[in-house]
Amino acid sequence: MKTMRFFWTTLLANAVFSTLALAADIGWEHDCTNVRDWYDTKADPSYQAKIEQAEKDAFKVTQCGADTWGKVAFVVKDIDIDKTPILEAKVNQVDVGSAIKVAVAPLDWSELYVVVARTSADGVHIGDIKTATGWTGKKSFNVVLIVEGKGKSAFFSHFKIESNQQAKLD
């Protein structure tokens, strides 16, 4: 009986440790249940896109400026690029005749690095921030969603910045 109790206690302890270890490999996560702290044309008209809560767990980004593309941005802070270089975006829908890109930019907007290449497909898209930027260590930066197509929209439902190992497990 003691052997069986030891077995189950050890198994439970290992499961809890594994779960905690995996959770530590996520640098940032957003479940798209709100648009708070996202920047769009309300913050800066040059963004030429608006963000709105479209569903309980998804938001819509719509191009709305004079150009044929627009962007919204979210500031993430103190991300360890060496530990968590992978950016993952879940796209629920992209309008016909539209495309999206996911990029990152330093806080001063001196550069824009595309991490997830231009696509019109829904689904989970993954890119490597470290490879795209050459950054190392801890960084604070903008996560930038770009929607192409005059008046076109895309729906997003989840974002993560995570380790390579975590991305393979999802």
Does 2 have pLDDT greater than 60? no
In 3D space, the residue among 145, 162, 164, 142 whose CA is nearest the CA of residue 153 turns out to be 145
Q: What would the two tokens of residue 71 be?
A: 């962007």
Do 146 and 91 form a contact (C-beta atoms < 8 A)? no
- Model pTM score: 0.84
Do 53 and 45 form a contact (C-beta atoms < 8 A)? no
> What's the whole-number average pLDDT of the chain?
88
* Domains of the chain by residue range: 27-169
- CATH (one of 3.40.50.740, 2.60.120.430, 3.30.420.40, 3.30.530.20) for 27-169: 2.60.120.430
Residue 20: how many other CB atoms lie within 10 Å: 9
Residue range 8-24: average pLDDT? 45
Element holding 158 (H helix, E strand): strand 153-162
pLDDT digit string, tens, across residues 62-101: 999 999 999 999 999 999 999 999 999 999 999 999 999 9
pLDDT digit string, tens, across residues 138-148: 999 999 999 99
Do 71 and 149 form a contact (C-beta atoms < 8 A)? no
State the pLDDT at residue 165: 62
State the pLDDT at residue 168: 52
| End-to-end Cα distance, the chain | 37
**Which has the minimum average pLDDT: 16-20, 53-57, 122-126?**
16-20
State the pLDDT at residue 164: 82
